[in-house]
Amino acid sequence: MSKPLGVCVLFAGQSVQESGMCRELWKYPAAREILKRLTPFLGDDIERITTEMPDPELALTFNAQRAIHAHHLGHWFAFKAAHPEIAIEGALGHSMGIVAALVAAGAMSVEDSGSFIRVRAQAFSDVCKAFSEPMGLAAISAEFFEDVSSRLSEFPGVSMALHNTIGRGVAGGTLRALENFARKAPEDGWEAKIKLLKVEGPYHTAAFAAARGPLEKALSRIEIRKPQVPVFMGTSGKLEDDPGRIREILVAQADSPELYFQAVWDAYDHGMRRFLEVAYKPQPVTWIGEQLLDENGKLMPGVASIAIKTPDIDAALPVGA
């Protein structure tokens, strides 16, 4: 018997939703079974959301988070069914993707994950609707994102939300403050590209503190087990394996910066070398080449990244994977 192929599986966060993204996925029996298990928890409209809903409506927080979670689990379980030679060695989740990572690692059931994501999506949506003025996010690209994030306090109303790669991150705040930041920072000599994102709110900033209560209540009804493989969480930026600590982090994630870049490095430091993402539109796996770099800007030894899109679920893995 050949040795299992070990991988650290990656799951994306909100923004990867796209109209019709699960139209082909639900034709796979293993994915269809996941849809069946999730529907009572994510909502009876989840199949329509993932196959027919137009992009503008799908982009709404309540729809996007539910659709992405169904997409994550459907892809992962369909891929596992097609590739029994795969052995999961670790799991990483970007933002809401951590919930799918916990399922893949055996720390949370499919059903409980659907129940939690439904509450999370509603809580985040409710926060967005309660804003007294428009708020949002701005993507930032620079040589070193930390050089930019360390100076965000120069712009009142703007704070760091996510740190994704060496040079990429996201800031959040009021739309007025973000527009001022996007205009003034280049004028002040900041070497950074800033792009306002079309989202409902500044996720992972203090503006989402009100979401903590519903998340904590939902998690009190959900069993979280010790993960069977290492899980690396963006809120802490490191490996977490204590169920109580994981529960705390899932609550804190609402209004805490997402340190995904640090979590990827911690995965590397714990021996993860082969990173795999199975998705309609892979995202985190494409960042590996901007994350695990040495002081000379070269990819760290032994690192491999694999992206498997829906039509390739049944195909043989790439040579050298």
135-197 fold: Alpha-Beta Plaits (3.30.70)
CA dihedral 79, 82, 83, 88 (to 10 degrees): 30
Helix (H) or strand (E) holding 118: helix 110-129
Question: What pLDDT, on the 0 to 100 scale, is given for residue 78?
Answer: 98
- The low-confidence residues of the chain, meaning pLDDT below 50, are 1
* pLDDT reported for residue 1: 43
User: What residue spans in the chain does CATH classification 3.40.366.10 cover?
Assistant: 5-127+205-312
What's residue 317's pLDDT? 82
Q: What is the pLDDT of residue 126?
A: 98
What's the confidence (pLDDT) of residue 145? Answer: 96
Instruction: Write out pLDDT tens, residues 6-40.
Output: 999 999 999 999 999 999 999 999 999 999 999 99
In degrees, rounded to 5, the angle at the alpha carbon of residue 263 between the alpha carbons of residues 321 and 210 is 130
In the chain, where does the domain assigned CATH 3.30.70.250 lie? 135-197
Nearest 5°: phi and psi at 266? -65, -35
Question: Strands 168-174 and 238-239: what pairing?
Answer: unpaired
- Based on C-alpha coordinates, what's the Rg of the chain? 19
Hey, how many other C-beta atoms are within 10 angstroms of the C-beta on 38? 24
Q: Looking at residue 4, what is its pLDDT? A: 76
| CATH code at 5-127+205-312 | 3.40.366.10
Evaluate whether 107 touches 231 at the Cβ level (below 8 Å).
yes
Cβ contacts of 68 within 8 Å, gap of 6 or more: 12, 13, 14, 16, 17, 96, 97
Kindly report the pTM of this predicted structure.
0.96
3-state DSSP assignment of residue 144? coil
Identify whether the C-beta of residue 201 lies closer than 8 Å to the C-beta of residue 124.
yes
Torsion sign (Cα): 228, 229, 233, 237:
positive
**Separation of alpha carbons 222 and 111, rounded Å:** 10
